[in-house]
Structure 1
Amino acid sequence: MYRKAPKPPIDEVVSWRQSLKKLQESKTGQLAFREFLRTEYSEENILFWLACEEYKTITTSNEIAIAAKRIYTEFVQVDAPRQAVSFITQFQINIDCGTRQEITNSMSQPTLSCFDKAQRLIYKLMKKDCYPRFLKSEIYQGLLEPSEAS
């Protein structure tokens, strides 16, 4: 869990204000943002985005098919299961029905780009909606405070 992780250096935390991209480049930033999204019941956004980033690194067609099915089942399909997987409850991501249908159609022969449009939509949602609230959140503001060890 994030709260047990060591506090990152203040300059790193301050750098997260530059952009959502800068925040996501930091493992600690990802964890803090994920904790924030969990409090807003929208953790599936970062989990989907991260799953897509990992998916793009797959090199064999068999692995692509397996991973595509997992991402589709966990995040895309209508009524995606609300199941506990590694202590995470996962929900269907909020994308338009056209994008969802495009992905559904691609599942018979998934490619490394089959989730790209949905990933871009989720990124825009996080950037426009969640990220500004994260910067104002107690989670982020708490990381800006000097630690007791200083």
Structure 2
Amino acid sequence: MMDSAMTMPGARRWSKWFVLAALVIVLDQFSKLYFNGRFQYGEVRSVVEGFFSFTLIYNPGAAFSFLHDAGGWQKYLFTALAFAVSGWLGWNIVKGRFTGMMNLAAAFIIGGALGNVIDRLAYGHVIDFIMVHYYNQWYYPAFNLADSFICVGAALMVLDSLKKPSR
């Protein structure tokens, strides 16, 4: 029996991007479950001495702990924003308005944004576990796979926009 999504005109063209977004969510959630189950909060384990570590940190805010101490309303703001951006990107994928690279970027951003939404709704914070640093002199804020996919997606969008001819 054929899947109803495949009977829609053009569904083959865009459904793979939503499957990719779903895979990003699954990978992100499994990684967070792993670190949340095997690390104590605040624990740091070095992977590359003086440069790269795994840790377990909870972030109630957004990137770089933006609004982490805002009292809880930020959870709803960032959740609504993630749904709005994901919906807009998904709509543009379905309508065929994006190039292949832009579809890839959108799938990464949708998967990353919704992966972090799951954390916000389930725990009230986002689980972060990747830490890049330079010995004890400099630390980049802890992040997760969802954040990484969002950043790669944003970079791909910028690259795609640079290769388009000016109008």
TM range (shorter): 0.3 to 0.5
TM-score calculated relative to the size of structure 1: 0.34
TM-score calculated relative to the size of structure 2: 0.31
Rg larger in 1 or in 2? Answer: 2
Larger fraction in strand = 2
